[in-house]
Structure 1
Amino acid sequence: MSVIYQTTITRIGQNAKEALGEQMLITLREGAPADIEEFCFIHCHGELTGALQPGARCELGQHCYPVTAVGSVAEQNLRELGHITLRFDGLREAEFPGTVHVAGPGPA
């Protein structure tokens, strides 16, 4: 399986870790408004080179998560804004249009 997106987290917003307690990780590219940044994991935005779809893998550090569902605008949000909401719940149908669901426990 080829890599379709690669990035590095450069900053963690003051309130971003709170979402992890709810099994969510929210990303946004560098340069976002400060009031939004505080809730996100900020990263240097890379280029999305393929389709974001169920069956793909999401690697975070040493952990690999199978993608189980992709919301209807998640790929566009990632491509244009570097924004994605990962849900660590393994749902097979996206709960919200911008959400990507993966199987496995969220990062601690």
Structure 2
Amino acid sequence: MTVIYQTTITHIGASARLALDEQMLITFREGAPADIEEFCFIHCHGDLAGSLRAASALKLGGQCYPVTAVGDVAEQNLRELGHITVRFDGQSTPEFPGTVHVRGPVPEDIAPGCELKFVA
């Protein structure tokens, strides 16, 4: 497996876990504006070393999620802002341009120190 992107969650915004109830995980790199940070899982920004595509995989903690769809600007947002919205619904067509859809159960909880990576 080739690592496309790898980072570690460093901080969790006060309302970030609410998105998990909606089957979403929203990330942003460290240094996000405060009004955005509140709703995001903040991470130390890594380098994007490949393309995000359906058939790659998201590894989050100990769980592996097959990627089923990637929005048109998701890769650019991840590269430039560390921002991505992951939907745990397995859709094969992106709901929004910045969304990555994966198949698998919504994480029960995500804690600081949790590793997030995309692999091909």
TM-score for the superposition, normalised by structure 1: 0.99
**Larger relative contact order (C-alpha < 8 A, sep ≥ 6)?**
2
Shift of 1:27: 0.1
Q: Counterpart in 1 of 2:14?
A: 14
The answer for unaligned runs of 5 or more in structure 2 is 109-120
1:105 Cα deviation from its structure 2 partner: 1.1
Runs of 4+ residues over 6 Å off in structure 1: none
Report the equivalent of 2:58. 58
TM superposition score normalised by structure 2? 0.89
- AA aligned to 2:29 is R
Name the amino acid aligned to 2:31: G
State how far apart, in whole Å, the 2-side matches of 1:106 and 1:74 are: 20
Distance in 1 of aligned mates of 2:75 and 2:36: 20
The answer for the alignment partner of 1:47 in structure 2 is 47
How far the C-alpha of 1:19 sits from its partner, in A, is 0.3
Pairing 1:1-108 to 2, within 5 Å after superposition: 1-108=1-108
Helix, strand or coil for the counterpart of 1:51? coil
C-alpha separation between the residues in 2 aligned to 1:24 and 1:45? 20
